[in-house]
Amino acid sequence: MPTGKKIENTEKADVLVVGAGHAGCEAALAAARLGCETVLFTVSVDSIAMMPCNPNIGGTSKGHLVREVDALGGEMGRNIDKSYIQSKMLNESKGPAVHSLRAQADKRDYSQKMRETLEKTEHLRIRQAEVAKILVEDGKIIGAETVSGKKYLAPAVILCTGTYLNARCVYGEVSEETGPNGLKRATHLSDSLRENGLKLLRFKTGTPARIDGRTVDLSKMEEQKGDETITPFSFENKENEIKKQQISCYLTYTNENTHRIIRDNIDRSPLYSGAIRGTGPRYCPSIEDKVMKFPDKDRHQLFIEPEGLYTHELYISGMSSSLPEDVQEAMIRTVPGLEQAVIVRNAYAIMYDCLDPMQLKASLECKFIRGLFSAGQSNGSSGYEEAAAQGLIAGINAARMVHGQEAVVLKRSEAYIGVLIDDLVTKENTEPYRMMTSRAEYRLLLRQDNADLRLTELGHEIGLISEERYRKLLAKKDAIAAEIRRTEHTVIAPMENVQALLSSHFSTPLKSGITLAELIRRPELGYQILAPVDPERPELSEDICEQVEISLKYEGYIARQAAQVEHFLKLERRRIPAELDYNDVGSLRIEARQKLEKFRPETLGQASRIAGVSPADVAVLQVYLEKHKNVSRET
């Protein structure tokens, strides 16, 4: 007899991850690998780890993030090593602090490989469903509810909603209430977040058109080949294990005709007509912004990048736009090599809701809803790599919360991930946050080549790095230290072959014996160059040789930066009681008092980075905490 009564359909889990983009995948894998029953939600299972914009992973500073994710036991590095179609080490002519790996990805393969890994992971299950509500009781998360009304109960929920919350896509007069690539947007969750006291921001970003490669004349462009030697993103991989045939990208330029078409139609640009509401990424400007803001520039670089081996589609890097379709076609056809180009997908801008990350602790947990975490574009960042880094930390900390363990917080002196998260939760973000090497004050210590030496031990402590990998790391550390010691104690005598090698490198001949280390430190020489005059040299892998050379050549700079870190840590270690009443702190300036009250920093170091809090205010606070020592303690 039909009752029509709703059947109770509630499920229990430990961690719910809302979104299977680059943040959600890392968060779900970390939580499940740490033993938590994890449910990963997405509006479309076919869009797992989708790359809605540039077809590459890494690049300046972003390569650092990927290697740090890998060093801690995350997945992005391994996944791109499986699905790359071109690999390049950028900035090799500059110092090691800015060397950055970038790999072109086969987008479909990248998504597929990530899905395979997710589906093979114990304690992890994927659910295609739109999460409509978070469920909160007494300031604590108890779960989430989908649009169907089904409740999933769990003590931890991680928001990784990317560019989908109330998303709207615009080009010219066309405005569509969809997520990226025409996928369904998420329309309910924003209201639920607001109802629970969360402040949302409205951000935007844009992407260029995709064109059919069969309609492009690549002979009119400069070929950009991949590197001969492949450096894997994952420290677990060796070059010979991932080496493969690479395909090229191509460089071309806009010109005065392109710029004239854009200027003549700028009134039809939603960006300039005001149809677009939302703040865009300053460091990924649209082509119309570049032409209008830099009128003296007679050309702008465009990189033509393949979307994958499975398609003719090409991505026009540097030409993101929201101009009308007819203008897009006209401007593209002014570019050398694109005269006959046919558009496959229009360029467009997307506006979306995201959280104000100042509501989060450095652990990425919400300050006022226990168990609610957030990661990725939903924190106002921009980029696959920034998302993956936050996802990993949020996943680790959600699992540690479930297991009653302390949260993991990476400091600015330990990792780019630490810089990223600290900037997001400490600084007022008025636009999508993109990582850059200039943001990392200790970048000579935070190189991409030593991410494993800095972080893999912690990854092992957390439980995401295997015993075997940990032992390999310890062996690597020992080998580096032993080789540095050997070079410091190996004396090279002024023999004929030594003098010959020195003069072939325009290096001052020796008058007497000198240590190998001293020779390596000479700018015109290096560890590999001196191999012919160093017969006792042990057989060592390339990455160990690289560490020996960098440690010797940059010794002074590294020591200086390490001393700065010591000073930085003094403030960073001084915790501020969460319940401190700033009205009690006598001679604090009003602006500082208001900012500290609003932001409630966790440490003196964080307080020192809040806009409007001066070093004098920090000193006042430090004295107050000293006087009231029993209420504040060291970390």
Least Å from the CB of residue 346 to ligand FAD: 11
Q: Rounded to whole angstroms, how far apart are CA atoms 332 and 327?
A: 8
Largest distance between two CA atoms of the chain: 104
The smaller minimum CB distance to ligand FAD, of residues 338 and 355, is found at 355
Hey, how many other C-beta atoms are within 10 angstroms of the C-beta on 386?
29
Ordered alpha helix ranges (H), 403-529? 416-426, 451-462, 467-489, 496-504, 516-521
Least Å from the CB of residue 437 to ligand FAD: 15
Which residue from 390, 311, 335, 324 is spatially nearest to 357, judged by alpha carbons? 390
Least Å from the CB of residue 436 to ligand FAD: 11
Least Å from the CB of residue 90 to ligand FAD: 15
Least Å from the CB of residue 400 to ligand FAD: 21
The smaller minimum CB distance to ligand FAD, of residues 164 and 235, is found at 164
**Tokens encoding 134:** 């978070």
Q: Rounded to whole angstroms, how far apart are CA atoms 17 and 208?
A: 30
The smaller minimum CB distance to ligand FAD, of residues 39 and 72, is found at 39
Least Å from the CB of residue 566 to ligand FAD: 34
Least Å from the CB of residue 205 to ligand FAD: 4
Least Å from the CB of residue 100 to ligand FAD: 14
The smaller minimum CB distance to ligand FAD, of residues 22 and 102, is found at 22
SS3 384: helix
Residues 121/32, Cβ–Cβ less than 8 Å: yes
Residues lying near ligand FAD in the complex (CB under 6 A): 18-24, 41-44, 47, 52-53, 130-131, 160-165, 180, 186, 189, 205-207, 284, 320, 350, 376-378, 382-384, 387, 434
The smaller minimum CB distance to ligand FAD, of residues 320 and 450, is found at 320
Residues 170/322, Cβ–Cβ less than 8 Å: yes
**Tokens encoding 456:** 């893999």
Question: How buried is residue 633: exposed, middle or buried, by Cβ count under 10 Å (0-12/13-18/19+)?
Answer: exposed
Least Å from the CB of residue 463 to ligand FAD: 23
Least Å from the CB of residue 429 to ligand FAD: 14
Q: Rounded to whole angstroms, how far apart are CA atoms 355 and 349?
A: 19
Crossing angle of helices 384-402 and 62-71, rounded to 10°: 30
The smaller minimum CB distance to ligand FAD, of residues 328 and 413, is found at 328
The smaller minimum CB distance to ligand FAD, of residues 161 and 450, is found at 161
Least Å from the CB of residue 540 to ligand FAD: 37
- Residues comprising the chain, all counted: 635
DSSP track, 182-247:
GPPPB-SHHHHHHHTT--EEEEEEEE--EEEGGG--GGGSEEE---SS---SSTT--HHHH-----
DSSP track, 577-623:
-TT--GGGSTT--HHHHHHHHHH--SBHHHHTTSTT--HHHHHHHHH
Q: Rounded to whole angstroms, how far apart are CA atoms 286 and 276?
A: 13
Positive or negative torsion for Cα 232, 233, 237, 242: negative
The smaller minimum CB distance to ligand FAD, of residues 320 and 363, is found at 320
Which residues, 6+ apart, have CB-to-CB distance to 299 below 8 Å?
253, 254, 255
The smaller minimum CB distance to ligand FAD, of residues 18 and 455, is found at 18
Least Å from the CB of residue 296 to ligand FAD: 24
The smaller minimum CB distance to ligand FAD, of residues 347 and 455, is found at 347
Least Å from the CB of residue 198 to ligand FAD: 14
Q: Rounded to whole angstroms, how far apart are CA atoms 118 and 28?
A: 8
Q: Rounded to whole angstroms, how far apart are CA atoms 65 and 197?
A: 31
The smaller minimum CB distance to ligand FAD, of residues 278 and 605, is found at 278
In the numeric block, the tokens 């990350």 are attached to 357
**Tokens encoding 324:** 């009308």
The smaller minimum CB distance to ligand FAD, of residues 203 and 554, is found at 203
Compute the chain's Rg from CA coordinates: 26
The smaller minimum CB distance to ligand FAD, of residues 52 and 95, is found at 52
